[in-house]
Amino acid sequence: MMDSGWDSTDGKWSAAEEAIMHATYRALLTHGYANLSISRIAEEFDKSKASIYYHYDSKDELLVAFLDFAADRFEALFDTQVGEDPSADLEHVVEKLLPLDPAEEQRQLHSVQVELRAQAVTEEAFREQFSKLDDRIVATVRDIIERGIAEGEFRDVDSTRVAEHVLAVVNGAMYGRATAERKSTAAVRVSLSSYLDAELHRGE
């Protein structure tokens, strides 16, 4: 969802807002959604609760902003790391979305993301932000595939259909890893790689 090392995005967020977002990120990793509070975010922010309430009226409003912030960071990350080789770029995106051997922070982050997504069932503002994030993932994958088609590296396929499949696989694997004792990431990655190879390269 986000990486605490990502750079700022074109001045959309003030320095104070960015600091609050990073504090929220750290608090979510430490406490999870269920035990998150403005007080705990303020502890990570090293400021008073009043300084957070100056920008956000409630925890939920702050979390909606956090999801927007994370979506911006996601887009900025892939904008800067995509190169000139569509196959390598697609492999890089899949690795970022579904790492074979995630670090502990990544595991915690996936669990937090599942907790936050659960709120989208009843909270429209959360649903809108996750829809935006999913749309950006699909657009990133679709754009790489379309570039590969234009350059003759990939065969002509429905790029949106393939990108939606990638998103569904990634989200499903994330839920399985976060909510059950599943250790199937390697098998899922192999299956996804086989699918992409069959769709984009074979039968040309």
pLDDT in tens, 25-84: 899 888 888 899 999 999 998 888 999 999 999 998 999 999 888 878 777 766 655 678
pLDDT on residue 200: 96
Mean pLDDT score, 162-184: 86
117 or 111, which is more confident: 117
Mean pLDDT score, 118-124: 89
The contacts of residue 23 (CB under 8 Å, 6+ apart) are 41, 42, 44, 45, 46
DSSP 83-108: -S-HHHHHHHHHHHHS-SS--HHHHH
What pTM did the predictor assign?
A: 0.81
pLDDT on residue 86: 94
Least confident of 5-14, 58-67, 130-139, 195-204: 5-14
Give the C-alpha distances (Å, rounded to integers) separating 180 from 45, 111, 174, 175, 185: 32, 11, 10, 8, 12
**Contact (CB, 8 A) for 149 and 87:** no
pLDDT on residue 5: 46
Kindly tell me if the per-residue pLDDT of 3 is higher than 60.
Answer: no
pLDDT-derived band at 182, boundaries 50, 70, 90? low
Average per-residue pLDDT in the chain?
85
Percent of the chain with pLDDT over 90: 43
pLDDT on residue 10: 56
pLDDT on residue 6: 44
